[in-house]
Structure 1
Amino acid sequence: MTIDFNKNNGLVPAIIQDATSYKVLMLGYMNEEALKTTLETNLVTFFSRTKQRLWTKGEESGNVLNLVSMKLDCDNDTLLIMVDPQGSTCHTGSDTCWNEDNSSNYGFLSKLEGIINDRKINPSNEDSYVASLFSEGINKIAQKVGEEAIEVVIEAKDSNDDLFLNESADLLFHFLILLQAKEFQLENVVQVLHKRHN
């Protein structure tokens, strides 16, 4: 990497992102020496503008940032550093410097999980299909997952892509309901896949 350290008095911004959850954890600054130390030790090291010295994240707290990968932006003056954080990142004790939980987010699927959970704990809407499934119990929910799985298999053998995708969406939707009926979330399944991958 050819990094342009000249634009900001020898410093470049370093955006720190969790390599697993993809959550942005913090922003720091690096000079050439901090970059060299990071690459040599695999522990993310910054140049502290306040202390005017190198500062390895976690040198006092033990909450280090293990280097996973590093990318340079198109202007060669900003780093994106993927890390495996050990403990909280912010000095306040928060997971991130924006006071957010460092939990995985699966975009719309996470939003859908939230809606399903709301229907589970607040089943007041009599028209809610999800609430009705929860009221019928685990056997009914598991049965629906089985039915949708069979329909996906049937459509996979045909050539109608729209039907296949719609049945796949039905299967995924009912699977998310089943997970919550069993007190789990998509993240629990992803963790199992990560372990198998490793």
Structure 2
Amino acid sequence: MSGGALPDDVRFGPDGLIPAIVQDATDGRVLTLAWMNRESLEMTIARRETWFWSRSRQELWHKGATSGNTQKVRSVSLDCDGDAVLVTVDQTGVACHTGAATCFHRPLTEDAPEPYAALTDLTRTVTARAADADPDSSYTARLLAKGIDTVCKKVGEEATEVVIAAKGREHGQVVYESADLLYHLAVLWTAAGVSLEEVAAELASRRAPA
């Protein structure tokens, strides 16, 4: 699907709509489920930002037009039956009108947290703190204001703490110190201009084929 043209095998429902699942391209979380008609799907593909059809207002709406929480489109895929689309996006801000990161934030089961999503949230928080002009606004901002040498020293210290905890076979302490290390590593990435996506891509490149 490219150039704003829709393939003939897209199957819109009797109401002229097709469900659109929006997924975060970075961590894979499902952000929302919305609806598209032919026009909004064409606009989403052509403009590379999500457009939907509001069933309640009976009108087109551009995600983030008023809130600023836009979704830059990476890809649009059609499912096997042709009656649903998957849109992967780079989310700016939050996806849900409630202020939550995703519309699916009310668990019905006692599921474990998503590790990769937690790391994504961490790097986004660090990036937001780094953008604050006041270095005293947070520990992250103060650390970054001290420069890359200080950040590197902290990463070294935290790595050592993980090693000491592991050698002492202190399970809980290894978990605690590892969290500290990942946080300071996220700060180092920000200071060095490295993104989590770049690190993930490097890891993916090392994965042996099945």
Deviations 1:119-175 (CA, angstroms, capped at 9, x unpaired): xxxxxxxxxxxxxxxxxx55534768xxxxxxxxxxxxxxxxxxxxxxxxxxxx9xx
Partner of 2:76: 70
Counterpart Cα distance in 1 of 2:33 and 2:55: 12
Aligned positions of 1:167-186 closer than 5 A: 177=175, 180=178, 182-184=180-182
Question: In the superposition, relative to structure 1, how do residues 105 and 69 fare at CA in structure 2: closer, same or farther (>3 Å)?
Answer: farther
1:135-146 matches, cutoff 5 A: 138=162, 140-141=164-165
1:105 equivalent among 111, 115, 127 = 115
- For 1:59 and 1:181, locate their aligned partners in 2 and report how far apart those are by CA, in whole Å: 36
Q: CA deviation at 1:184?
A: 2.0
Post-superposition Cα deviations, 1:98-136, rounded to whole Å, max 9, x if no partner, equal 227xx96349xx9xxxxxxxxxxxxxxxxxxxxxxxxxx
Distance of aligned partners of 1:35 and 1:106 in 2 relative to their CA distance in 1, 3 Å threshold: same
**SS of equivalent residue, structure 1 residue 95:** coil
1:194 to 185, 192, 197: 197
Are the structure 2 counterparts of residues 181 and 98 from structure 1 closer, same or farther at C-alpha, using a change threshold of 3 Å? closer
> Partners of 1:87 and 1:12 in 2: how far apart?
25
> Number of residues paired by the alignment?
139
Change over 3 Å in CA distance of 1:194–1:75 after alignment to 2:
same
Check the 8 A contact 2:45/2:76 in 1, yes or no.
no
Q: Does structure 2 conserve the Cα–Cα contact (< 8 Å) formed by 1:43 and 1:66?
A: yes
Alpha-carbon distance, 1:89 to partner: 0.7
**Letter of the aligned partner of 1:99 in structure 2?**
H
Shift of 1:179: 5.6
Pairing 1:54-65 to 2, within 5 Å after superposition: 54-65=60-71
8 Å contact kept, 1:21–1:105: no
- Alpha-carbon distance in 1 for matches of 2:102, 2:162: 37
Aligned residues: percent identity?
A: 36
In the TM superposition, 1:119-138 aligns within 5 A as: 138=162
Structure 2 unmatched ranges of 5 or more: 1-6, 107-112, 120-160, 203-210
Say which of 30, 33, 48 aligns to 2:36.
Answer: 30
Name which of 22, 25, 30 aligns with 1:16.
Answer: 22
Tell me the TM-score normalized by structure 2: 0.55
Aligned to 1:3: 10
CA displacement, residues 2-34 of structure 1 (integer Å, 9 cap, x when unaligned)? 2011x3411000001101110111000000000
Aligned-partner Cα distance in 2 for 1:42–1:73 = 19
Give the alignment's Cα RMSD to 1 decimal: 3.6
Q: Which has the larger radius of gyration?
A: 1
Amino acid at match of 1:180: S
